Amino acid sequence: MSTQTSPQWGTLQAAAAAFQIHERTLRRMIARGEIEARRFGPRLIRVNLASIEAAGRPLQFGGGDAA
């Protein structure tokens, strides 16, 4: 029995709302190959929600004075 989970797919609108980014930003990320997306039919696009989360990177803070 496989423990692999199937990817969660969502619409561009739902993914943009969930991650608080603009739909155009998602489209640019798809075009650059940063996130996984699939086209189902001539117009329907779904994005892999896990790939959006994985595309984010943690902020680096070196500390120190702001001056």
In a domain, 2, yes or no: no
Report CA-CA distances (Å) from 36 to 1, 12, 15, 52, 62: 26, 12, 12, 8, 32
Interhelix angle 12-19/23-32, rounded to 10 degrees, is 110
pLDDT at 46: 96
Residue 62 binned pLDDT confidence (cut-offs 50, 70, 90): confident
pTM of the model: 0.75
Q: How many domains is the chain built from?
A: 1
pLDDT at 57: 84
In a domain, 62, yes or no: no
Domain range for 23 = 9-55
In a domain, 66, yes or no: no
- Say how far apart CA 8 and CA 36 lie, in whole Å: 11
pLDDT digits (tens, 9 = 90+) for 3-30: 566 679 999 999 999 999 999 999 999 9
